[in-house]
Amino acid sequence: MRIRGLVTVAALTVGAAATLGSSTGSSGPVSAVDTRQNPAVETAALASATRLSPVSEPQDAYLPPAGFVAPAPRVARSQRAAPPPPSPVVINPTSPASPTGTGLIAAPVILSSLGIPEIVLNAYRSAELTLMVEAPKCGVPWHLLAGIGRIESGHAGGGRTDSSGTTVTPILGPVLDGRLAGNEVIRDTDRGATDGDAGHDRAVGPMQFIPSTWAKYASDGNADGAADPNNVFDATLAAARYLCSGGLDLRDPLQETRAVLRYNNSGTYAANVITWSNAYRNGGTPTPSQLSDSSTPPPGSLTDAAANGSDLARELAAPPELPPDATPTPTTPAPAPLIPGLPALPALPCVFFCPPADPAAPAPAPAPAEPAAPPPPIAPAVGVR
């Protein structure tokens, strides 16, 4: 019994040792013993170790990281040069005061809704804005300048200007030598430098400045460094300054009329300028019947000026004198025909919504008759009671 117990203990010890060796795997001296005893196993182990830990060798060149491609060199861009502008065509280059031409090229004419060329309308508005800063108490409106420009030159000859606003053909008034009716005699004041006439002065430019007046109010409205009476921006700014001179407030109709009379001492001229100005302000143009063709302006246009003491305005505002034997007649003008050259339509009878007819005049009442005389008293008969 004792021997069998010893054998059992020895067997258990050997089994435990075998179990311990199998749990440690190939590590330890067992793996080394097996490798040395089997050359094939040793060769496989060396190959496996070589694959697991490769020998590093020096690189010949730098390799970029995987997944990135070096960008290609960029080509510098160059701007294409614009073709050179064509040389301007000069047509009959002459002196600035010659009416035959100046060598300027007319810009395209674009009319506004009021019939004013856009470049000329811009000049009127530019002068108004400039005077709002220089003389805020004057209040010269653009439409008053437009009325003057319409009468003086038809808005710079219908807008025949270059891109800077200079008229292609100089606009010159008649020679002021007294030969024309109503023209004054004004001797030359600038040796012909402005108007090209060394004997007498002439009105120049779209706003028709006399050389002596231009010398006092010359302006540079387009900021080109030169004051030119033939430039619509320069001439319009000079006209605005001339109208505002003397501290006038053109918001007042009286002072507005005085300023226009100062520009041109004519009642018809002042009436027509104010008519055009009011029409432009309201977004339209006047009809021919609204403009004055005679020397007497429309009623009421110069009444305020007459009250201010202007002799010319007082004479124009006064009613015309009639001969003693003349009978005044109503001056209601006939309605203008809708189409020029056609007779006016006859009056049509009223059909609907007619005004009531004038009631007939009542017949005169008969005059009251005089009361009849009372009858004479009857004498009583004799013997009757």
- State pLDDT tens for residues 78-121: 656 666 665 543 333 343 443 444 556 766 677 777 889 999 99
Q: Residue 229 carries which DSSP code?
A: T
Share of the chain above pLDDT 70, in %: 53
Name the nearest CA neighbour of 218 among 194, 198, 199, 196. Answer: 194
104 within domain boundaries = no
Give backbone dihedrals phi and psi of 333, rounded to 5 degrees, phi first.
-70, 150
Decide which of 317, 351, 372 is a domain's last residue: 317
The tokens for 84 are 């050179």
| Between residues 315 and 70, the one the model is more confident about | 70
State whether 41 and 149 are in the same domain: no
SS3 content of the chain, % helix, strand, coil (to 5): 35, 5, 60
Q: What is the pTM of this model?
A: 0.52
Asked which of 295, 317, 339 is the last residue of a domain, the reply is: 317
Strand partners, 374: none
- Residue-range definition of the domain harbouring residue 294: 118-317
Residues 6+ apart with CB under 8 A from 190: 201, 211, 212, 215
> Is there a single domain that holds both residue 295 and residue 175?
yes
Instruction: Give CA 75 to chain center in angstroms.
Output: 46
- My answer on whether 137 and 286 are in the same domain is yes
pLDDT at 195 over 70: yes
Q: Among 115-129, 189-203, 342-356, whose mean pLDDT is lowest?
A: 342-356
Of 254, 282, 317, the last residue of a domain is 317
Q: Is residue 195 part of a domain?
A: yes
87 domain-assigned:
no
**Residue-level pLDDT at 368:** 57
**With contact defined as beta carbons under 8 Å apart, do 153 and 171 qualify?**
yes
Share of the chain above pLDDT 90, in %: 30
Q: Which has the minimum average pLDDT: 13-27, 160-174, 231-245, 248-262?
A: 13-27
- pLDDT at residue number 114: 86
Residue 70 lies in a domain: no
Domain assignment of residue 266, yes or no? yes
When computed from its CA atoms, the radius of gyration of the chain, rounded to whole angstroms, is 56
pLDDT at 378 over 60: no
Residue 89 lies in a domain: no
Same-domain status, 148 and 275: yes
Residue 73 belongs to some domain of the structure: no
Total structural domains in the chain?
2
Q: Hey, which residues does 172 pair with through a beta bridge?
A: 204
Give the Cα separation of 231 and 104 in Å (integer).
12
- pLDDT band of residue 268 (cuts 50, 70, 90) is very high
Q: Are residues 156 and 280 in the same domain?
A: yes
Whether residue 37 is found in the same domain as residue 124: no
Q: How far is it, in rounded angstroms, from Cα 149 to Cα 138?
A: 19
Residue 380 lies in a domain: no
Residues 138 and 256 in one domain: yes
